[in-house]
Structure 1
């Protein structure tokens, strides 16, 4: 197996769907990848710990949003709860979005337009989130999403907006989760986006477009992006957050091949 300067991880929510969740986690780990999970509240945390997997990322909140008083309180409360779980899993990164998402990935409180007053509110909330991360010694990551296909109505979803918020907070405990699948749909120009964002990136997620499956199934030339990451000296985590086109083992093989 070729070595890489960065760590490879895979999302257990989207692979080996015919298996119980702890078995998904265990098999991904046995294949040599770190593991990402989403909503921890629906998981048996002791069973996940018993798999022996190394966890790369998990959802860092259960509800709430960045801009409304009740939503801010809910987000910060569930962020604290998430940090407790992250400690049990020894998970270094906790993921956030511009607002809470339902089971279909749609915003619980959709926003048609982000108003000027929403920006300072979001910044203040994210500064408080970063303080929680600093106290716990863990990093929160703010993920960009796409509005056209998967997450219409999500505020602060564009990669440019997510990056602007993270830059403004300017804390090592709040970084960007740069999702290149979402960015390709929303903005494109991925290599230049990687160059601009990398100083503020806590993690990179990938899947191909269209379909959100493994590299090689769509239009993104991930080996070129992998080469640029090596040129730039990136030594963080690259995670497959995508479905398997046909077979999960084959999807992991294709992901590894694209990034090694």
Structure 2
């Protein structure tokens, strides 16, 4: 069993221009993930020869309000040409748009039954969009205790329930194990339950959101659990390097590779 290992280019080699980060990651043998595409040059990214596995697939919107749902679908549609130009097969989304510092633009204290129904309807539209364009949309779980307070459907269990309810091959779960460890724990059981619905896995250690080996999670055990559950897709390090220097980023990439080479 082997995974496609990817690195989030927004969080490592932070002293370098973004394009140089992509080139460093690619030259080290990893695929690349990006966030906001609106400030990037698709042609320049494609020219690096890097494999792109995921990008943020919307710029505004949410799952639960009528106008927010329309904005989400509209801006996902706008994101598709960029994704196609860099041959990126996955568009990532959340329960609501995130602002400065990851704070949700539409914070929610209590998620109601009507919100659940609205989210399913919105995600059905998202899945239809993905089917029309041959892409996979992935819904990411986020923790609300540390990084993203007030995000609706933040728990992995909630994200999994929504994806399962839609039941489309063009809507999958982005299982972020950093967020899940903070929000729920019990990662191996979560993996076993979620894998049939997972389109991507993201990792960072806890606490600190840095590379494997800097926190409390035994990532080699988690990697083995993913493999035993039959997962063979993308595993991405969405983590800062504990040492922010370029040499520190080099070491972070190698620590990640060692943990997830199964």
Fold similarity call, TM over 0.5: yes
Find 2:61's aligned residue among 46, 64, 67: 64
Please show how residues 20-169 of structure 1 align to structure 2 within 5 Å: 20-169=17-166
Q: TM-score, normalised by structure 1?
A: 0.98
CA–CA distance in structure 2, aligned partners of residues 29 and 233 of structure 1? 26
CA–CA distance in structure 1, aligned partners of residues 48 and 100 of structure 2? 25
The answer to whether the Cα contact below 8 Å between 2:3 and 2:260 also exists between their aligned partners in 1 is no
Q: CA deviation at 1:81?
A: 0.8
CA–CA distance in structure 2, aligned partners of residues 72 and 243 of structure 1? 31
Find 1:244's aligned residue among 233, 241, 246: 241
Q: CA deviation at 1:207?
A: 0.3
SS of the residue aligned with 1:41? coil
CA–CA distance in structure 1, aligned partners of residues 57 and 252 of structure 2? 26
CA–CA distance in structure 2, aligned partners of residues 55 and 139 of structure 1? 13
Unaligned runs of 5+ in 1: none
SS of the residue aligned with 1:42? coil
The answer to whether the Cα contact below 8 Å between 2:127 and 2:171 also exists between their aligned partners in 1 is yes
SS of the residue aligned with 1:140? strand
CA–CA distance in structure 1, aligned partners of residues 253 and 214 of structure 2? 13
SS of the residue aligned with 1:100? coil
Q: Deviation digits for residues 67-100 of structure 1, max 9, x if unmatched?
A: 1111111101100011111111100111000000
Unaligned runs of 5+ in 2: none
Q: Deviation digits for residues 202-251 of structure 1, max 9, x if unmatched?
A: 00000000000000000000000111122222110100000000110000
Q: CA deviation at 1:184?
A: 0.2
CA–CA distance in structure 2, aligned partners of residues 53 and 5 of structure 1? 19
CA–CA distance in structure 2, aligned partners of residues 109 and 238 of structure 1? 29
Q: Deviation digits for residues 13-56 of structure 1, max 9, x if unmatched?
A: 00000111011011101100000000000112221111111101
Q: In structure 2, what is the equivalent of residue 12 of structure 1? A: 9
The answer to whether the Cα contact below 8 Å between 2:191 and 2:229 also exists between their aligned partners in 1 is no
Q: Deviation digits for residues 103-131 of structure 1, max 9, x if unmatched?
A: 31110111111111101110000000000
Q: In structure 1, what is the equivalent of residue 216 of structure 2? A: 219
CA–CA distance in structure 2, aligned partners of residues 115 and 231 of structure 1? 36
